[in-house]
């Protein structure tokens, strides 16, 4: 079977280098792109994000990607800010999101040190992303805003309060943490994503 085509969306606000390195460790080929047709044709799409929500949305709009991403039919994985931009609205910069997930993004209570940064345990694991992952496994987080508990959760964690560590709706998957920086747990999650809904990837470890 042919090798899958994996597209990492390159819009100037994503942690694309680290994500690319993580895929290389799995023996997976990928392309960094902001080309709408390349993204549409890809078997899987990864939507990373770092930085501030408002500026990231502006960069998506400059490339017309804010219209492309919500209409994708293949599996899509949002990472960190990418997950937050999939939501309806973020308190960071009063930013309107892509509304793929009907959930708002909130700022952590002012009593908590932000950004929330470091290793946190994952709980309440559900769905294909977490195949082979045990509850209590650690993942690496860096963020100042969070997605509250909701019916689309695929994993939870806590920092001052419990919140969503991962989400899923239809073909859209999203994680608040950085799988590319989360050791064996993160590599397993990326491998699971690549293997969702069939397709063959060669050289998988």
Annotated catalytic sites, by residue?
80, 178, 180
Residues 6+ apart with CB under 8 A from 24: none
- C-alpha closest to that of 141 among 166, 120, 167: 120
182, 189 Cβ separation under 8 angstroms: yes
Torsion angle of alpha carbons 131, 132, 137, 138, nearest 10°? Answer: -70
Distances (CA, A) of 35 to 15, 85, 123, 204: 18, 19, 36, 27
Alpha-carbon distance of 11 to 32, in angstroms, equals 9
Name the strands in the sheet holding 162-169, side by side, starting at the edge strand that comes first in the sequence.
Answer: 31-33, 6-9, 44-47, 76-79, 172-175, 162-169, 153-158
């Amino acid at each position: 079977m042919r090798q899958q085509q994996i597209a990492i969306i390159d819009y100037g606000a994503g942690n694309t280098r680290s994500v690319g390195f993580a895929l290389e460790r799995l023996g997976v080929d990928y392309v960094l792109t902001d080309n709408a047709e390349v993204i549409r044709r890809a078997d899987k799409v990864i939507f990373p994000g770092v930085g501030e929500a408002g500026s990231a949305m502006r960069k998506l709009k400059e490339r017309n990607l804010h219209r492309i991403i919500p209409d994708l039919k293949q599996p899509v994985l949002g990472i960190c800010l990418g997950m937050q931009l999939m939501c309806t609205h973020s308190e960071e910069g009063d930013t309107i999101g892509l509304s793929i997930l009907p959930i708002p993004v909130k700022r952590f209570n002012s009593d908590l040190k932000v950004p929330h940064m470091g290793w946190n345990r994952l709980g309440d694991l559900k769905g294909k992303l977490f195949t082979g992952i045990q509850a209590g496994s650690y993942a690496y987080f860096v963020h100042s805003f969070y997605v509250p508990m909701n019916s689309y959760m695929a994993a939870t964690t806590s920092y001052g309060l419990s919140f969503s560590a991962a989400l899923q709706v239809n073909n859209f998957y999203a994680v608040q943490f950085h799988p590319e920086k989360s050791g064996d747990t993160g590599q397993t999650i990326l491998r699971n994503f690549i293997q969702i809904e069939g397709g063959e990837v060669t050289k998988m470890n």
